[in-house]
Amino acid sequence: MTFPASIREASSPSPLLSVEDLTVRVGPEPDAPALIENVSLSIAPGETLGLVGESGSGKTTTGMAIMRLLPQALDRGMHGRILYQGDDVAAMDAKQLSGVRGGEISMILQDPMASLNPVFSIGSQLKEGLRRHATGEGSLHERAVRALDDVRIPSPEARLANFPHQMSGGMRQRVVGAISLARAPKLLIADEPTTSLDVTIQYQFLELLKALQQRLGMAMLFITHDFGVVARMCDRVAVMYAGQIVEEGPVRDIFRRPAHWYTRALLDSVPTVNSSLERLPTIPGSPPHVGARPQGCRFHPRCANAQARCQEPPPITGAGTGRAVRCWFPLDSERTIA
């Protein structure tokens, strides 16, 4: 079961990235447990698609699969198409991949320390990235300084000699950003890039990312669990639960008229500074493990509206409106935002 192609066409005539029926199993056997199942999504040039979900929902797996960075066993258990500008990334060999990965598609991960090599100066790591992609004017050194300046690192010239451990977490993530963006990628996959940062630093990094996105005209797949970050960063949102996309739509729609019971319940359970609730609405239970996902609608054991029919796989409704939901009994009511 997939999200029909008509939705993708409604959002953009020629998507930059279009993932079709992507399934990743833990091994090549057809009955191996699936981490993600029939994930389809598309991103237009310059657009930001948010991929929201809890841990174990498969959002990181999706991002890694698009970059073909999954561990070998998972990569061999991958089926479906990942069309980047019409070319199928899923079918590429190592050489073609390195062309796409380094330049066209870039990635920022959650932990900046893990993305940087502790024994090299940030200057040498930045230059290594720039060297492989001969774009821009000036010497390598000048371009490195400019790249740091672009991510608003003060006194970039002096900072080039620093090692990762000499910088704060926020600075490190900016360096990672500088390395990823120095090659002017067309698509950036950002996997929880601000989760390890303090909130005031997160805010500034998100603003920076937005500004750079506009300047470079780059598209983003923004993977996060934080609805506040989604509201700030994304044009469209896909909500993942237990390996499937359960709902997709424009960001305003998702927040104002969530159609899936999971999305709705999740949004309601987040406290805000303005709400003076005595108790928070909750979702009972916890997300299922990969090997123990329920039949039919994956959410029905935790759903407030579960009915007998939910034991069967739900259809996807809302096709053609740019708005799709995987539910037997989708919601259709306005939600007030506190």
Partner 1 sequence: MSAPILSAEGIGRVFSVRHHGRQHSLHAVTDVALALQPGRTLGVVGESGCGKTTLNRMLLMLDTPTTGTVRFGGTPLAELSKAQRQEFRRAVQPVFQNPFSSLDPRMWVGGIVAEPLSTIPGLTRKDIDQRVGEVLEAVGLRAADAKRFPSEFSGGQRQRIAIARAIASRPRVLMLDEPVSSQDISIRAQILNLLKDLQDEYGLGCVFISHDLATVRFMAHEVIVMYLGRVIERGAAAAICTAPSHPYTKALLAAALPPDPDAPPPELPPRGELPSPLVPPGGCAYHTRCPLAMEVCARIRPADLAAPHGGSAACHLLDPELAQ
Q: Which residues bind partner 1 (CB under 8 A)?
A: 54-55, 168, 170-171, 198-204, 206-207, 225-232, 251-252, 255, 265-267, 269-284, 286-287, 302, 337
Nearest to 330 by CA among 301, 305, 293, 309: 305
Do the Cβ atoms of 169 and 87 come closer than 8 Å? Answer: no
Q: Which is nearer to partner 1, 90 or 234 (CB)?
A: 234
Q: Which is nearer to partner 1, 214 or 282 (CB)?
A: 282
Question: Cα separations (Å) of 325 from 240, 321, 328?
Answer: 11, 11, 9
Phi then psi dihedrals of residue 290, to 5 deg: -55, -45
Our CB check for partner 1 shows the closer of 30 and 285 to be: 285
Least distance to partner 1 from the beta carbon of 201, Å? 7
Q: Least Å distance between CB 207 and partner 1?
A: 7
In the complex, the smallest distance separating the C-beta of residue 177 from partner 1, rounded to whole angstroms, is: 15
Sheet holding 236-241, edge to edge: 105-108, 187-191, 219-224, 48-52, 236-241, 244-250, 324-326, 316-317
Report the residue number, 84 or 241, with the smaller CB distance to partner 1.
241
Shortest Å distance, C-beta 301 to partner 1: 13
The DSSP code for 288 is: P
SS3 145: helix
**Residue with Cβ nearer partner 1 (95 or 165):** 165
d(CA 122, CA 106): 18
Shortest CB 35 distance to partner 1, Å: 17
**Closest by alpha carbon to 326, among 318, 335, 336?**
318
